Amino acid sequence: MKEALEPAKKRTRGLGAVTKIDTSRSKGPLLSSLSQPQGPTAAQKGPKKTGPRGCTAVGSVLKNQKLAPTAPAQKPVRKRPGKRPDWDLKGQLCDLTEELKCYREKTQKLDQENQGLQEQLKEAQEQAAALGTERNTLEGELASVRTQAEQCQQKLEALCARVLELEEWLGTKENLIQELQKEQLELQEERKALATRLEEQERRLQASEAALLSNESEVVCLRQKTAAQVTLLAEQGDRLHGLEMERRRLHNQLQELKGNIRVFCRVRPVLAGEPTPSPGFLLFPHGPAGPSDPPTRLSLSRSDDRRSTLTRAPAPTTRHDFSFDRVFPPGSKQEEVFEEISMLVQSALDGYPVCIFAYGQTGSGKTFTMEGRPGGDPQLEGLIPRAMRHLFSVAQEMSGQGWTYSFVASYVEIYNETVRDLLATGTRKGQGECEIRRARPGSEELTVTNARYVPVSCEREVEALLHLAHQNRAVARTAQNERSSRSHSVFQLQISGEHAARGLQCVAPLNLVDLAGSERLDPGLTLGPGERDRLRETQSINSSLSTLGLVIMALSNKESHVPYRNSKLTYLLQNSLGGSAKMLMFVNISPLEENVSESLNSLRFASKVNQCVIGTAQANKK
């Protein structure tokens, strides 16, 4: 039975579905088939082998069937000898006996047959019982096979699901593989490109290495040359320094030859609305070299009205001739004026104290000369902004030679012998009195207490300071009429130069002084309370201006006592006058005939100063 089921099982597996096992065989009408001998059964015909028990049972049935006689119906019945006549009772009896005999035989045979059949039935029943048992066993087996099949089915289903899952996974993996393959292709392409680039770079590198090698030898060569040039440079630096020192010496000599005290006369032009002076009132005779020679002389003709009224003759004129280091007629430009003094600015950078004054009556052009006209016209810029620009640019040039310069500016006003800071801002304005004091005990250097000393490094900073000073003065002007004309303004710039490599230092002040108006008070004026103040102011101004003259004289005459302390102005400028200092005085003259007396006074004062010679200057070198 097991063997018979095996192929079925195998088939089930092969088909992928469980085929129902045909169990009808055991249900068939075994008895009827056995009772009707119809030849061999399907089980006997088929090649299939049945179990050993089934085979024995069926075999024995068949054997019995063969052994069993055929049915009497099928056996030919002895033909009756026709119908006996009713009368033939003997014949009929004979026939009936015959027939009975036949029937008896037949019954006997049937009994035998019945017996045989009974046996067969018994056998068949036994067989049926055996087959029932077998069937039960088979059904049990079938049930277990079904369970197995169901389990297998479940497993199969699980496996199918897994297969599907795996197929899906496989699909994703395949996609991934495709993508990776694509990526791989791209990377391969990239790799190729990179390899090409690498080759190119390697080629370049080789070329660069070759160039480097040749450059290195060139560098060695250049280093040698540089070393030689450094030596040469050092030598030339030394030479340059020597030359710079020589230049300074010669420059100073030149300035000394020109005079340590120089006086320039500047005549301002006639302004709009002013009367034109009579021709010949002011003359500017040429120098010996003709018109190309810069004028150094000035003639002023004054008509003596007093004498003419006495004699009633045409008023005689007296000519006053003056000679200065330079005379600037009315048309002279600010630029020309500055050109003449730029040499002094250089002297200040070289370490010589420099003092530039503007002297003259009010309205003669002192402020115009020193500061210029406010309004930003560069043509009209005065000496202070021009000097500053020159200083900064020369200092910049000299930095190439190893010099470092620093500048500190201050701007004060001396009015009625009191000092006021023109750079005061905010709360410092008018706070605390400014006094001139020694910077440190035992030091020669002077400083103004409560005044601002502002480090400057460019023109714009100086411009801002000048603007501030202008504003501070304007405030004062409202308080006291025209105070600016009645006070001295002193712009001081402390210049410090250092040549660190050679351990050289030079310090010098550059002073630009716009002096108070030099005019005297009209003696005919009646003295009201305002005039009294004016008189005091004038006396103070005259005293300080004459002190300036006396100081210059004393220095010129090499007197043992120089009256610096007689005025605040000379005291403040003490270190910039005399000795190693260079001084330049502008005498500003009005071109108007009405100002002739003041012009003469100014020119006389300036001439006296011009005659002074102050000893050989020494640079303030440390």
Q: How far is the CB of 312 from ligand ADP (least distance, A)?
A: 37
Q: Which residue has the tokens 């103040």?
A: 533
Per CB under 6 A, the segment of 216-224, 293-301, 361-369, 554-562 that binds ligand ADP is: 361-369
Q: Which residue has the tokens 């000035």?
A: 298
Q: What does 365 bind: ligand ADP, Mg ion, none (CB cut-off 5 to 8 Å by kind)?
A: ligand ADP
Q: What does 269 bind: ligand ADP, Mg ion, none (CB cut-off 5 to 8 Å by kind)?
A: ligand ADP
CA atoms within 13 A on the CB side of 97: 6
| CB closer to ligand ADP, 120 vs 588 | 588
Per CB under 6 A, the segment of 175-183, 225-233, 365-373, 496-504 that binds ligand ADP is: 365-373
Q: How far is the CB of 283 from Mg ion (least distance, A)?
A: 26
Element holding 408 (H helix, E strand): strand 403-415
| CB closer to ligand ADP, 334 vs 410 | 334
Confirm if 329 and 309 have CB atoms less than 8 A apart: no
Q: Which residues bind Mg ion (CB under 5 A)?
A: 366-367
Q: How far is the CB of 487 from ligand ADP (least distance, A)?
A: 11
| CB closer to ligand ADP, 275 vs 441 | 275
| CB closer to ligand ADP, 72 vs 330 | 330
Q: Does 575 bind ligand ADP (CB under 6 A)?
A: no
Tokens of 368: 């115009």
Question: What residues have CB less than 8 Å from 483, skipping those under 6 apart?
Answer: 415, 473, 476, 477
Amino acid at 566: N
Q: Does 362 bind ligand ADP (CB under 6 A)?
A: yes
Choose among 463, 515, 513: nearest CA to 484. Answer: 515
| CB closer to ligand ADP, 255 vs 485 | 485
| CB closer to ligand ADP, 365 vs 509 | 365
| CB closer to Mg ion, 367 vs 472 | 367
Q: How far is the CB of 326 from ligand ADP (least distance, A)?
A: 14
Q: What does 248 bind: Mg ion, ligand ADP, none (CB cut-off 5 to 8 Å by kind)?
A: none
Q: How far is the CB of 514 from Mg ion (least distance, A)?
A: 6
Choosing from 54, 295, 351, 363, the residue that interacts with ligand ADP (CB under 6 A) is: 363
Q: What does 268 bind: Mg ion, ligand ADP, none (CB cut-off 5 to 8 Å by kind)?
A: ligand ADP
Q: How far is the CB of 516 from Mg ion (least distance, A)?
A: 8
| CB closer to ligand ADP, 198 vs 271 | 271
Q: How far is the CB of 405 from ligand ADP (least distance, A)?
A: 30
Q: How far is the CB of 586 from Mg ion (least distance, A)?
A: 12
Choosing from 104, 373, 429, 438, the residue that interacts with ligand ADP (CB under 6 A) is: 373
Choosing from 120, 127, 364, 567, the residue that interacts with ligand ADP (CB under 6 A) is: 364
Choose among 519, 515, 526: nearest CA to 596. Answer: 519
CA distance 218 to 144: 101
Q: From residue 237, how far is each of 230, 241, 621 by CA, in Å? A: 10, 6, 20
Answer positive or negative: Cα dihedral of 391, 395, 398, 404: positive
CA distance 149 to 152: 5
Q: How far is the CB of 577 from Mg ion (least distance, A)?
A: 22
Confirm if 509 and 497 have CB atoms less than 8 A apart: no
Q: How far is the CB of 267 from ligand ADP (least distance, A)?
A: 8
CA distance 135 to 140: 8
Q: Does 368 bind ligand ADP (CB under 6 A)?
A: yes
CA distance 338 to 341: 5
Q: Does 367 bind ligand ADP (CB under 6 A)?
A: yes
Confirm if 601 and 363 have CB atoms less than 8 A apart: no
- The angle formed by the CA atoms of residues 225, 228 and 233, to the nearest 5 degrees, is 120
Q: Does 538 bind ligand ADP (CB under 6 A)?
A: no
Choosing from 269, 285, 374, 430, the residue that interacts with ligand ADP (CB under 6 A) is: 269
Q: Does 518 bind ligand ADP (CB under 6 A)?
A: no
Choosing from 160, 271, 501, 535, the residue that interacts with ligand ADP (CB under 6 A) is: 271
Residues flagged as binding site for ATP = 360-367
Residues in the chain: 622
Q: Which residue has the tokens 């597996």?
A: 13
Beta strands in 182-305 (DSSP E): 261-267, 282-283, 297-303
Element holding 512 (H helix, E strand): strand 504-514
Q: Does 491 bind ligand ADP (CB under 6 A)?
A: no
Choosing from 511, 588, 602, 620, the residue that interacts with ligand ADP (CB under 6 A) is: 588
Per CB under 6 A, the segment of 30-38, 222-230, 362-370, 563-571 that binds ligand ADP is: 362-370
Tokens of 72: 């009497």
Tokens of 219: 């560098």
First to last CA, the chain: 136
Q: How far is the CB of 358 from ligand ADP (least distance, A)?
A: 7
Determine if residue 556 is left, alpha or beta; phi over 0 gives left, psi from -120 to 50 gives alpha, anything else beta: alpha
Q: How far is the CB of 329 from ligand ADP (least distance, A)?
A: 10
Tokens of 328: 């600037």
Choosing from 54, 295, 360, 497, the residue that interacts with ligand ADP (CB under 6 A) is: 360
Residues flagged as binding site = 360-367
CA distance 274 to 276: 6
Residue 311 has phi, psi (to 5 degrees) of -90, -10
Percent of the chain that is helix, strand, coil (3-state, to 5): 55, 15, 30
Beta strands in 231-295 (DSSP E): 261-267, 282-283
**Please, what's the largest Cα pairwise distance for the chain?**
245
Q: From residue 555, how far is each of 256, 374, 429, 552 by CA, in Å? A: 15, 36, 36, 5
Per CB under 6 A, the segment of 364-372, 438-446, 540-548, 606-614 that binds ligand ADP is: 364-372
Choosing from 295, 351, 353, 365, the residue that interacts with ligand ADP (CB under 6 A) is: 365
Residues 468-487 that bind ligand ADP (CB under 6 A): 485
Q: Does 488 bind ligand ADP (CB under 6 A)?
A: no
Site for ligand ADP, rule CB under 6 A = 268-269, 271, 360, 362-368, 373, 485, 588
